[in-house]
Chain A
Amino acid sequence: MFEFSLRQVALCGQQPGEEPGELAAPPSDLTAVIGTIGDQFRDSFTRLCLYLARTYDDAPQTRTDDTVVIGTEYGNTAALARLQRRAETDGKMLSAKHFPNATSSSASAFVNLGIGATGRNLTLNAGLLTPVIAIWQALLALAVDRSSTSKVLIGDVYSPEALLDARREPYDLRCRSGLTHATFVKGSEFRADFDFASDHDESPVLGGQIGSSRSSDRNSAFVTAEFLELIQTLDIGQQAVLTCRGPLARRGALTVTRQSTDTARNGGRGE
């Protein structure tokens, strides 16, 4: 069981029906927020992570002990593929600036660098259970006093290669790009209870669901944002449940109960 307050939630993603891939209409202030330096090396996933981390929170003036958890299935795949292709075309002229942008945790590195976060930082992939595991890790950092703020980024910007992979086992779920950013802070507004007991049903409906309402998206950015928006509307004593199911009876459930109304969202950096 963890206690927390939620300072903000933001989602940036494609609309239903949009052809999956790059966002057709990226945020209009994207360039103003993250600049253009290094744009030829970084991919859309890094850009969007950095944009959300910088936009929807107060920019700290100094380094912080914030924890940053990125939950993603495909992360920086686009940059990884681009480095391989550029080596073919550029040969020994290949720029050394590609590589730092083309690791599996480049987005995390640039977010930490961009917001001066020196606490725990993780990029994790739990498949369809990614949101529950990512939020667990973020709340743990608060519970054990490692950080007073935990920032979570969940989702994917599908590169062509990522789409091919995701569609191998589509689980009857659609793919659209999107990323959710949430800032959890120490507080007692909410209580979170996690349950990782396996499903008894060997062939459950896979993916995320809130209560009994199943998400139609594979990208868990959307169900995460919907869930975190929902909990902010709860009255004291009310609960909401996010359940994520994966193959082989793997299951993670997060029950959030509102315990109080808090001022954390209006209270600067949460303390």
Chain B
Amino acid sequence: MNRSARIFVTGLGIISPAGAGTAPFWDDLCAARNRFTDLTPLYPGMKAGTLGGRVPKDAWDIALEQVSEQTRARPRAASVFAEYAALEALRDAGLERGDDLVRNALVCIGTSDGQADALEDLVGNRRDITETGGFSSYSITEDVAAAVGARGPAFTTQSTCASANVAVSCAMEMLRSGVADTAVVGGCDPYSEKNIIGFSSLQTIGAQRCRPFSVDRRYVTPSEGAGILVLQTENALRPGQQPYAEILATAVNNDASHPTAPDRDGVEACHRRALAEAGITAADIDVIFAHGTGSRANDAVEGGIFTEVYPRAAVTAIKGTVGHLMGAAGAAGAVASCLTMRHRTVPPTAVDATEVDGGLNLVTGAPLAMPQLRYVQNNAFGFGGNNAISIFRNVA
């Protein structure tokens, strides 16, 4: 087992409320421009005016054109999003469907709500099981594998909002162990009625948009989409490929403390583990893409760790712009981390500098140029005490 095998990010793909593709995603991040809309109340008594981020119709149409015939014939949102993002990432890596590297690739997709539309239509007696196409979470990964033409190991990981980073961790382990030399990995989550109902019952979503690390923060803004990375080991790199970054580590742990509330000790332990696995210290980290949900509890725990342990790092949180992509949140952060490496620019958090809580070194206002960027950290946490943190290294 060659544990020292280096792993590079060679391709990126994303679909989000910003639109289809990395270009509109990066544009919206840098402009701190959100496209949130009112969500329709889903049950008697649910408050009107709750904000959410939806993949726009034109982006859906673009995605639908590109996905497999099978998915186009019976579209399930998770498969549409994940297939689109995977195909974009493959093109971005300079690889093609059926390519030798891709044929044996590992595919691992993280999701929390999976094929939510299929299950929810079944439960709501709106469609029968055949019409839905089925709801097993494995079908998302199976669909992505079929779309890119991969026959290597394929599996779905489900760790609430840390799902995508957990998928990245699993894929890294398999690449380092020699199971495959290329991986198509990331996360996706569609709009889920069950999820909106759940967050509504916890009173964590509402009419005020997500304001990460603001003293006035109150609500999470749920959204949807998918983000995919192509990972290749050093030996699998082809001449001319220019990786976005080397991925050094993705640490995973569990708080084992509370079903929903984050635990500072557990979250901090995940930070320590990520740094140890990457072989660097907190002082080396230049930029942190925070989980930054805009909830009181999450941002208090994360913000406290950042100010005490990472005083030098520039912190940013993208959920004020694209919303919380749930199981795909870590994937959106990973794509943003890699684009930050490429552009040497940190997109701002969509809050005003005057409202930043606790002296945090939060990037606000204009994008921050960082010509000497070396290491970027990407956090993703979830209900159930799930923590997963990736660290990327600049290889330009």
From B123, B141, B154, B383, residue with most partner A Cβ within 10 Å:
B123
Say whether B26 faces chain A, with CB atoms less than 8 Å apart.
Answer: no
B139-165, CB < 8 A from A: 141-142, 145-146, 151-160, 163
Check B138 against A83 for contact (C-beta < 8 Å). Answer: no
Check B179 against A196 for contact (C-beta < 8 Å). Answer: yes
Check B129 against A164 for contact (C-beta < 8 Å). Answer: yes
Check A116 against B137 for contact (C-beta < 8 Å). Answer: no
Who on chain B is nearest to A163 by CB?
B129
B338-396, CB < 8 A from A: 382-386
Within the assembled complex, what's the spacing in Å between the Cα atoms of A85 and B197? 10
Which residues of A sit under 8 angstroms from B281, Cβ to Cβ? none
Check B146 against A122 for contact (C-beta < 8 Å). Answer: no
Which residues of B sit under 8 angstroms from A99, Cβ to Cβ? 197-199, 201-202, 260, 383
Shortest distance between the CB of B156 and any CB in chain A (Å): 5
Check B122 against A120 for contact (C-beta < 8 Å). Answer: no
Say whether A238 faces chain B, with CB atoms less than 8 Å apart.
Answer: no
Chain-A contact segment, one of B108-116, B208-216, B219-227, B328-336 = B108-116
A161-B122 CB under 8 A given contacts A83-B198, A118-B256? yes
We find that the number of chain A residues with CB closer than 8 angstroms to chain B is 70
Query: C-beta contact mask, A115-128 vs B, less than 8 Å → 1, else 0?
Result: 11111111111110
B190-210, CB < 8 A from A: 193-194, 197-199, 201-203
Check B193 against A84 for contact (C-beta < 8 Å). Answer: yes
Check A133 against B155 for contact (C-beta < 8 Å). Answer: yes
Which residues of A sit under 8 angstroms from B152, Cβ to Cβ? 196, 198
Shortest distance between the CB of A152 and any CB in chain B (Å): 14
Which residues of A sit under 8 angstroms from B89, Cβ to Cβ? none
Within the assembled complex, what's the spacing in Å between the Cα atoms of A48 and B255? 21
* Complex A-B: 14 CB contacts under 8 Å: A84-B197, A96-B203, A103-B198, A105-B163, A105-B386, A109-B259, A121-B159, A123-B159, A125-B141, A127-B154, A129-B154, A165-B136, A194-B179, A248-B145
Q: Which residues of A contact B (CB under 8 A)?
A: 1, 63, 68, 73-75, 77, 80-81, 83-85, 87-88, 90-96, 98-106, 108-110, 112-113, 115-127, 129-130, 133, 136-137, 140, 143-144, 161, 164-166, 168-169, 194, 196, 198, 247-250, 252
In the complex, the 6 A-B pairs of residues with the closest C-beta atoms, listed nearest first: A92-B45, A109-B384, A99-B198, A126-B155, A91-B44, A100-B259
